[in-house]
Structure 1
Amino acid sequence: MHRPGKAPRPSHPGRVTVIGGGFAGLTAAITAAEAGAAVTLYEAHATLGGRARTADAPYRTNEGPHALYNGGPHWSWLKQRGLLQPVAPVRPAEAVRFRFHRDGTLRRTPPLGLLRLARKSPELAPVDADFTTWATRTVGARGARAAAHYIAVALFHHDPGSLSARFVQERLHRAAALPPEAHYPVGGWGALIDRMAARAWDLGVRIETDARVGELPGAAEGPVVVATSLAAARRLLGDDTLDWPSGRTALLDLALTARRADPFVVSDLDAPGWLERFSDDADSALSPVGEQLFQGHFPIAPHESKAAGIARAEALLDAGFPGWRERTTWRREALAAGRTGAVDLPGTTWRDRPAIDRGHGVYLAGDQTAAPGVLSEVAFNSAMEAASLSLTALKLARLDVYRA
């Protein structure tokens, strides 16, 4: 265990230092170690995972809903290393139990305009216009509003319609794909993190937990990958330019006694909000026998309280889960502020976010950096780029990374 302060000097020259033991940090550490670099990873908490941690039993919740999209680059990377399995897809029986809260009523189908819009290629959406303006011209105001609220599942933002049309449409196109791209690591994301950590150990990565780093090692000690939240990176690097818009979301975890008639998903199309069941026959270890674990997120504006988001969650529960209060066996509420990934305003793209290369052998990785992708793909792509730049600095083999 290390006290806060300067990172201990590596045991030999040419070592890559990774600060942060979440998904991005472990990806960077594994990638660098596979190429022959010596790697030390420092994690401030007692356990690895960052926002990908999974709570201990009996209710194994993630920090907000998490999913792996099988259309992303991290899917094949994890699969090639035997780190992916087991994962649970959205099964057909569950897909037919989607419900949409629209005009105050629970419905089985979304508006036609939403479906039409979801099929359109993201390349058709302009970067400079906001999503609502472009989508209204494309499918009308009703479909545009429903689509903006539906895609809150992948944005965690209180006003998706105000964001860049290209940014939102990319996520809508992916989130509404059929068959669904979303898959869920069995046992929660913590199980995936455990497999990644074991891979890192096998490669010789030195992992230090309870090790809060307050100062970067010197440039002569080797490259450094800062794989923390953007706010933490800003403090560590003393760089006020490390800033980018994110979301603010009320999170609700709920365990209910099982009821076969319950929906699998309830998407609120009247306002941004999403409730989803995470425990099922494919992953029964997430909650006790006879109970079902639900997780929801309800984006809130900067001036709104967490209580306002939870009130919307309870209203959606009233609509979709009769008698849910009497069936509740466990409950947890939280607020995620600036911890839900980057959102791009009109006129900006991922290329405008804080650059990965910070100069002097320091590289940034995380989900608010200048890297492409949806949800965790941003963290993965930035980690791969940061590892590649670190290896180049050490004059080791350069990696082929996605630079679209």
Structure 2
Amino acid sequence: MTAKVAVVGGGWAGCAAALTLAEAGVAVTLYEAGRTLGGRARAVGLDGETLDNGQHILLGAYRQTLELIERVQPAATPSPLWRLPLTLEQPPDFRLACPRLPAPLHLAAGLLGARGLRWGEKLAAARWVHALLGDRTPLAGSVSQLTRAQPESLNRLLWHPLCVSALNTPPERASAEVFRDVIHAAFGGRSADSDLLLPRRDLSAVFPEPAAARVEALGGTVHRATRVTAVDAAPAGVTLVTPRATATFSHAILAVAPQHLGALIARIPALEAASDAAAAFDYLPIATAYIRYDADFRLARPLLALADGPAQFVFDRGRSHGQAGLLAFVASAAATLPADWLDQAEGQLRRIVDPGPARWRRRIVEKQATYACVPAMTRPPVQTPHPRLFLAGDYTAGPYPATLESATSSGVQSAALLLEAL
């Protein structure tokens, strides 16, 4: 059979896989159950506003993701991403800003110059990071256990907020080893690896939509609003079932969210281990509150950390997206949000600045936004025991937690392995 590949799932992993295959000259068909590409990082429309289903930050260390974005939007003006040197600010208690120095000196300088820490706490943080960057032995236990010798103020202001934002998992449950890997990626290479990159467009427009357009320009097909309900795999090919048709392909990459994997591959005994691994995941919600104030209101920085409440960060989309007066409040690992969490999030902001009266408020809660990144969890590899089936997604085996980099890297890796098998 001539290579004819299906990619099931139009999130960042599926779009990365489809793009890689199409650019290699393979006939590819991309299936997406929704009308909008992007999966768990996509555009949504609310009351005439184009927003996102959740606010995302990229790191300068996300090289695969950044390379893909550059490929589908070369020399875009303005850039779809806004690059900022790492600055973490929680007014009025804490501010860490990393200068443009070689890594990891930039972090050491940032810690030693941090506002809100005593001199002994700064030295403790710098020594701890230095030891962590030099350690690549396997780590067991949680982030809370990893940081237990650090001063309480450091855990409260820096390490634990970083854990929640990077792993979307509370520190008492989060994997110490994965957190260490994130610290290595951000601070153990180039100084630019720790840069924060904020999207300047809706998340679908940053990569999935341009990638799909490139796939179609290369002769591929993109089916939106087309849910694949079942997959059958035989030695000679793979059959996909949708409500309207059945189609047969030489190979398939399954790039659906892990909670949907089991039902999709129920007819394929060879993928039972992958199904069991995904079924064992514990999922956590991420909540985003969009609140609009007067158009002339701006935060002092594009994003600020928030203390003592349900939200960990607030983003100024007026500064990043040109949506004047619109703020996005993000609550990660939001399993126990109170009913009045929007009011509480506003209260967190009002303790540091007066934005005036809210003109408009909406919330988006992704109940299964991500999986809990816990110690010793089993994540399936992208290559399955069936020679014609591959997996892609932020839940597959890799050094990062559930991030856009995990998604795109898995998509490219699955496509590369498929190409090797042709």
TM-score (norm 2): 0.75
The SS at the match of 1:99 is strand
Change beyond 3 A, Cα 1:141–1:333: same
Match of 1:200 among 207, 211, 215: 215
Change beyond 3 A, Cα 1:279–1:213: same
Give the drift of 1:20.
0.8
Task: Show the 5 A alignment for 1:166-185.
Answer: 166-172=177-183, 180-185=194-199
Number of the residue aligned with 1:67? 57
1:338 and 2:374 aligned: no
Give the drift of 1:38.
1.0
Larger mean Cα displacement after TM superposition, 17-26 or 45-54: 45-54
Identity among equivalent positions (%) equals: 24
Contact residue 288 and residue 331 of structure 2 kept, 8 A: yes
Task: Show the 5 A alignment for 1:5-404.
Answer: 13-56=2-45, 59-72=49-62, 73-82=64-73, 85=76, 86-91=79-84, 99-100=89-90, 106-108=93-95, 109-111=115-117, 112=121, 116=126, 121-122=132-133, 124=135, 127-137=139-149, 139-146=150-157, 147-157=159-169, 159-172=170-183, 180-192=194-206, 193-219=208-234, 220=237, 221-238=249-266, 239-243=275-279, 244-257=281-294, 258-260=296-298, 262-270=300-308, 273-280=311-318, 283-284=321-322, 287=323, 291-300=324-333, 302=335, 304-305=336-337, 307=339, 309-310=341-342, 312-324=344-356, 326=357, 328-340=358-370, 342-348=371-377, 352-360=378-386, 361-373=388-400, 375-393=403-421, 395=422
Listed one character per residue, the Cα deviations across residues 164-214 of structure 1 (whole Å, up to 9, x for unaligned) are 222123335666896652223332222222211111111211111121111
How far, CA to CA, are the matches of 2:116 and 2:290 in structure 1? 25
How far, CA to CA, are the matches of 1:120 and 1:28 in structure 2? 37
Change beyond 3 A, Cα 1:261–1:206: closer
Change beyond 3 A, Cα 1:313–1:337: same
Change beyond 3 A, Cα 1:115–1:334: farther
How far, CA to CA, are the matches of 2:265 and 2:390 in structure 1? 11
Contact residue 152 and residue 273 of structure 1 kept, 8 A: no
Structure 1's unaligned 5+ residue stretches are: 1-11, 396-404
Give the drift of 1:90.
4.6
Q: How many residues align?
A: 363
Structure 2's unaligned 5+ residue stretches are: 96-114, 238-248, 267-274
How far, CA to CA, are the matches of 1:61 and 1:377 in structure 2? 21
How far, CA to CA, are the matches of 1:282 and 1:251 in structure 2? 16
TM-score (norm 1): 0.78
How far, CA to CA, are the matches of 2:203 and 2:400 in structure 1? 19
Change beyond 3 A, Cα 1:202–1:209: same
How far, CA to CA, are the matches of 2:309 and 2:405 in structure 1? 26
- The amino acid that maps onto 1:197 is A
Larger mean Cα displacement after TM superposition, 44-53 or 239-248: 239-248
